[in-house]
Amino acid sequence: MQKMESRGVELPSLWEKALKLIGPEKGVVHLATAAVLNAVWDLWAKQEGKPVWKLLVDMDPRTLVSCIDFRYITDVLTEEDALEILQKGQVGKKEREKQMLAQGYPAYTTSCAWLGYSDDTLKQLCAQALKDGWTRFKVKVGADLQDDMRRCQIIRDMIGPEKTLMMDANQRWDVPEAVEWMSKLAKFKPLWIEEPTSPDDILGHATISRALVPFGIGIATGEQCHNRVIFKQLLQAKALQFLQIDSCRLGSVNENLSVLLMAKKFEIPVCPHAGGVGLCELVQHLIIFDYISVSASLENRVCEYVDHLHEHFKYPVMIQQASYMPPKDPGYSTEMKEESVKKHQYPDGEVWKKLLPAQEN
């Protein structure tokens, strides 16, 4: 772009500074970057006639490394480190791919125990999930301790002592409060507590992590992490035991690759955040690739599943026996049905035509 000057100030320079005020590599700029680059990965995979996970698995390690921005993380992960990890991941890769195609990637359900559900609803949804073969369950906590105690008791009684229970506080607590609250909920044997405090508080997470060691409770976080730098520091501070990437919060597949590789170097299991708004469709590709080409392990690894709004996507996730089955259609599984887009398009879509007049009244 040709530089223009106004009163001695370079306009592109002002523009760059303005962008930095709403970024860099976080906030709206980073979310937009993720949207654009994820779309590029979708197009690339469609051009190759492969789903994104398969495009990644088949990619030469050096080509994969060329997709990663190592700026700000070379004190933890260099290009040489990444290449070594990916080259080691070549061993047994074909066998792991066959395993994924046959058995899928283990998942857990978040759909049974949202805050606000009545006890009857909770019991009904939990019973149906058990019937459908789910063995790992996550419950939302943090609004009221006594309510949490009652709800967790209901779920633990229903699923039994052998099945896995996780808890999610969605950033509810201060650091001391998180430790005290979880010491009371420890009797229900949760595998982890997710987002116990501000997602930006790296040292706070580290303090909670140390305090919960005697209870055998791990810290899970990552869905609100702005970028690879935050993940780097969480790993350096030993502030988490379960790392939760998000396919849209980070800067697309490219940045997620760097985080997967850092997690491998620290030997921290990746258990992605997902949701029923297309996140499940996206993140399945990343975690299947991680197992086949990077981690080569399913120990303490599981991917979130939420059973909402998949009907709007042309290529919705396939869950069998509580596992994500690898998608086979080319692309990133993100394409929505035309009728769904038209119905929800602002402001002329059917949904908005009903909603806007109602709000005015």
Residue closest to 130 by CA, chosen among 161, 152, 163: 163
The SS3 of residue 323 is strand
Q: Is 226 considered catalytic here?
A: no
Point out which residues pair with 6 in neighbouring strands.
Answer: 9
Please answer whether residues 125 and 117 qualify as being in contact, where contact means their C-beta atoms are separated by less than 8 angstroms.
yes
Q: Give CA–CA dist 15/10, Å, rounded.
A: 9
Kindly state the tokens that stand for 206. Answer: 């580290």
DSSP 110: E
Whether 273 is catalytic is yes
Active-site annotation holder among 138, 273, 285, 310: 273
Q: Which of 140, 205, 232, 264 is catalytic?
A: 140
As a whole number of angstroms, the distance between CA 200 and CA 133 comes to 36
What is the number of other CB atoms lying within 10 angstroms of the CB of residue 304? Answer: 25
Q: Which of 269, 272, 306, 267 is nearest to 287 (CA)?
A: 272
Catalytic residues: 140, 273
